[in-house]
A and B are shown apart, each in its own frame.
Chain A
Amino acid sequence: MHIPDGFLDGRTMGALWGVSGATTAYALYRVRETLDDAKKVPLIGVTAAFVFAAQMLNFPVAGGVSGHFVGALLACVLLGPWEGFLVMEVVLLVQCLLFSDGGLAALGANIFNMAILSGLLSYYLFALAKSLIARRGGEKAAILTSAGLFAWFSVVIASVACSFELAISGTLPLSTGLPTMVGVHSLIGIGEAFITVAVLAVVLQARPDLVSAYKSPGLSAGLPAGEVA
């Protein structure tokens, strides 16, 4: 789903650079103190590396098409929405500069699809659903159910956006692009939901202090992260 350069027209790329740029500026303002938090830095680094590595592994979907893990919702649930969003940006930037995965001119569009829609938007919908479900049951179960649902959604919404962008640019008509993209990504989304839930279930069990979306009193830290100057 990383759109390479050459597939979008100037108008589309420019507009999405604008949206992504403005969101980034606001996100940077929101996380201005995060890097001083000795407990958060390793977690942010590992999440970024984990998402990065997972995105490199393709799994076969059907008929020779393959998909990969996106990880945006997982990053937001673990780190908080703005940190998660920025981590996705770092992943996309490094993939673009180092692996030529996704174009540089198209980076604004890829950020919009996979960091804003799959990340921020999906996270806030997740948070809403989580609080609704949590009224009836435990918070952990609510997180897992909601995360599974919106992990699937996060992949599908990005593919919808991707097909609209290609259609507006005149590269791939909507009538053929949309059904194909969405069809394939509804399948990929199942894998996404599966991995997201699996990781969250284990982390919630072993180190609930690492899950930003899970807040309950008396958390225990497994390792001495302590105060570091």
Chain B
Amino acid sequence: MGVISMADVAVRVVGLSYRYPDGTEALRDVDLLVRTGETVAVMGPNGAGKSTLMLHLNGILQGEGTVEVAGLEVNKKNMREVRGKVGLVFQDPEDQLFSPTVGEDVAFGPINMRMSAAQVDLAVKRALKWVGLDGFENRSPHHMSFGEKKRVSLATVLSMEPEILVLDEPVSNLDPRGRRHFLEIIGVLEATKLIVTHDLEMARKTAGRVVLMDDGRVVADGTTDSVLGDAALLERHGLL
């Protein structure tokens, strides 16, 4: 990889292990380095530990080992700052959206960041514009189509202007048009992106690098072409 300065590192995970309260080992000694501006697809079969790893990036889960994002160590002291830097978009928009109106939901993060009323308004407007839903502030998320809900979910995170964007299965269950639209939106975002998926086509289209996980470990890490070109590897880890 050569020498890279710390300022270029968006995510640094060293020797991370995590065990669920019931004893299941979800992560075993995981290392991961992501450079600022990179788009990385994190792939692997169900139960590989992808989502568990993502939940560590902004401290929802805390295991053994080191996790640093945007130069900050993830610990109790830095938690609010960390959560402002890492935006997590969950797979199911129903879990992400819980407010009566779209505007309130998009404002939730900025308000938690203790922004002023004017800043919050601006952040909400900007985030909704990014996802092509300007003027939807007073709509109820419950009356929207799945594709729109998905975009509102993204807006609830973009309103915090995160440096690192983590998307868990961003296009699953979307119809082809909704899928294309969503990919266009995230394509123009400048943040460092980690995309959790087991969709090969989506990884080829969006990511320059693929990290393959299985059974709590990173089993392959390389350019998209090299990892996805290795049919034997993909088959061994349940992606083909």
Direct contact of A and B (CB under 8 A): yes
A residues with CB within 8 A of B: 209, 219-222, 224-229
In the complex, are the beta carbons of B20 and A221 less than 8 A apart?
yes
Contacts of B26 in A (CB 8 A): 224
Contacts of B21 in A (CB 8 A): 209, 219-221, 224-226
Is B17 positioned at the interface, with any CB of A under 8 Å from its CB? no
In the complex, are the beta carbons of A229 and B55 less than 8 A apart?
no
B residues with CB within 8 A of A: 20-23, 26, 52, 55, 59-62, 75-76, 79
A226 to B62 Cα, complex, angstroms: 7
A224 to B62 Cα, complex, angstroms: 11
A222 to B60 Cα, complex, angstroms: 16
A119 to B65 Cα, complex, angstroms: 44
Query: From residue B64, how far is it (CB to closest CB) to chain A in Å?
Result: 12
Contacts of B59 in A (CB 8 A): 228-229
Q: How many A-B contacts if CB must be within 8 Å?
A: 32
Query: From residue A87, how far is it (CB to closest CB) to chain B in Å?
Result: 19
Query: From residue B66, how far is it (CB to closest CB) to chain A in Å?
Result: 16
Given contacts A220-B23, A224-B21, A226-B55, list 10 more A-B pairs with CB under 8 A.
A220-B22, A221-B20, A221-B21, A221-B22, A224-B20, A225-B21, A227-B62, A228-B59, A228-B60, A229-B76
Closest A residue to B18 by CB, please name it.
A226
A19 to B69 Cα, complex, angstroms: 52
A222 to B59 Cα, complex, angstroms: 19
A225 to B20 Cα, complex, angstroms: 9
Contacts of B62 in A (CB 8 A): 226-227, 229
Closest B residue to A227 by CB, please name it.
B62
Q: List 28 A-B contacts (CB under 8 A).
A: A209-B21, A220-B21, A220-B22, A221-B20, A221-B21, A221-B22, A222-B22, A224-B20, A224-B21, A224-B26, A224-B52, A224-B55, A224-B61, A226-B20, A226-B21, A226-B55, A226-B60, A226-B61, A226-B62, A227-B61, A227-B62, A228-B59, A228-B60, A229-B59, A229-B62, A229-B75, A229-B76, A229-B79
